Every structure is written in structure tokens, then in C-alpha cells.
Homo-oligomer: A and B are copies of this chain.
Amino acid sequence: MKEKKFVEVCFTPQDYDYFKGRFEIVVVIDVLRATSAICSAFNNGVNSIIPVSTIEEALEYKQKGYLVGAERGGEIVPGFDFGNSPYSYMTPELKGKDVVLSTTNGTRAINIAKGAEKVVIGSLVNLQALIDWLLAQNKNVVCLCSGWKDNFNLEDTICGGAICEALLASGQYTSDDDSSVAAKYLYLSSMDNYMGFLKSSSHRRRLKRLNLNEDIKYCLTPNQMNVIPILHGNRIINS
């Protein structure tokens, strides 16, 4: 019998040390909103996205003439072109461009994952395409949830749980950690109604206060596109 591959869910960047180095593929997830925005950008024909951790790095790119998105605490950082609303990445002027992005949690998680054989961008908007792609790779997979400032969040965990559930259901995969079992159950509890399930999510409340309900609805609508954004060196490109 062929040996099964592992799929696990890591709740926060803080927890990543335990998983680091054991998985060929890291799926970075920041459903609200960085990885949803990245997927939307590629769906709109953006050429590449350069994720940077700090505002200082983002500013350097801006001074070189790049289009730069920067978000902290859910809001656009003053002086930048846009934040991390997926709708900002759907405009025609971004087609074919290289775009720089720095966000509170998502771009940090991407940079923490560097060093894995493959770092791929996951969200609900590209969920089924990503699952199909992962099954075709047949490698060990860890879903790295971006969380909120190193704390657990529901929406990233549910997305990781959806990936976990699909990979386990294929029979190619197994999982070993309680975090993966929990993520799978949270996905199964929420799959019929993400919006309802997440009404008590702290980040959803945070964004709702900022009048970002349209963004939330968009980010929680699964399978809108077939993009598979992958990190190559310091840039994310569509595979």
C-alpha cells in the first residue's frame, strides 16, 4: 500500500515552528483579506505580487514607482495606493503590472513560510482549484493560517479545515495533529453558512465596524476563480 501524505493545519504564525521543515508545501491563508485579494489580483491579470512585511519596505518600492498596497488594522495606510480590499485589485489599470503588498498578518505569514519547497496562496475564492492542484502534487501539506496578530482566527481555520477535509476524503492523505481535526470539524459546522457561522468572528466584527461588509461577503464566497498563486523567490506569480 502506498504511504499516505500528511495534511495539517497550523493555527497561527506563532505555532509554525512546530510544523516548519516537515511539509513540502505550505498553503498560506488570510481569508479576510490578504490572500483573497491576491487571488483576485491574479484573476484580474496582475503580473506579479511582491509581499513585504514592513511599511518601510513598502515605501521603498513606492519610491521606485511601484503600485503599492498597504494595510494595517483593517485600514489603508495613508500615502499608499490601496489596502487589501479585493475590489482594489480588480481595476483595469493593474492588468500586467507588478504590485507590492504589505498587510497586518497575511504578508508576514507568507514571509515566515519562505524556505518550504512550495509556498502557495489559499483562500475560499480559489478553494476548489487549490484542492485539485494540491491533490495533483501529492506532497505533504501544511495550511498556515495568518491569524490576527498571532491569535487564532475562525475564518482562516475554516478554510484550512476545508482543504484538510478534501485531502483526507481523497484517501491520499492522513493527518496527525489535533489542530487539523478541530479545523475539519469547524469547517463541517460552518460549510452551509459561512456568514452565519462567522457572525461572531472577532475579525468580521472588526471589518464590519469599518463598513467592509461587501468585502466580507466576497471573501466568504468560495470557488470564484481558478488561480494558483505561488511564491517564486520574492514574488508571487500565477502558476
Residue interface mask A135-179, B partner, CB < 8 A = 1 = 000000000000010111110010000000000000000001111
- Answer whether residue A189 sits at the interface, using C-beta atoms and an 8 A cutoff: yes
**Chain B residues, Cβ within 8 Å of A111:** none
What's the Cα separation between A148 and B178 when bound, in Å?
Answer: 10
**Chain B residues, Cβ within 8 Å of A152:** 11, 15, 177-179, 182
Question: Contacting A15 at CB < 8 Å: which of B151, B154, B178, B189?
Answer: B151
What's the Cα separation between A201 and B181 when bound, in Å?
Answer: 8
What's the Cα separation between A151 and B176 when bound, in Å?
Answer: 12
**Chain B residues, Cβ within 8 Å of A148:** 178
Chain B nearest CB: distance from A235 CB in Å?
31
Considering only CB atoms, which chain B residue lies closest to A204 in the complex? B178
Chain B nearest CB: distance from A184 CB in Å?
9
What's the Cα separation between A178 and B157 when bound, in Å?
Answer: 10
**Chain B residues, Cβ within 8 Å of A154:** 178, 181-182
| Contact across chains for A11 and B14 when beta carbons are under 8 A apart | no
What's the Cα separation between A195 and B215 when bound, in Å?
Answer: 40
| Contact across chains for A203 and B189 when beta carbons are under 8 A apart | no
Complex A-B, nearest 5 residue pairs according to Cβ-Cβ distance, in ascending order: A154-B178, A152-B179, A153-B178, A181-B200, A185-B189
**Chain B residues, Cβ within 8 Å of A223:** none
What's the Cα separation between A105 and B178 when bound, in Å?
Answer: 16
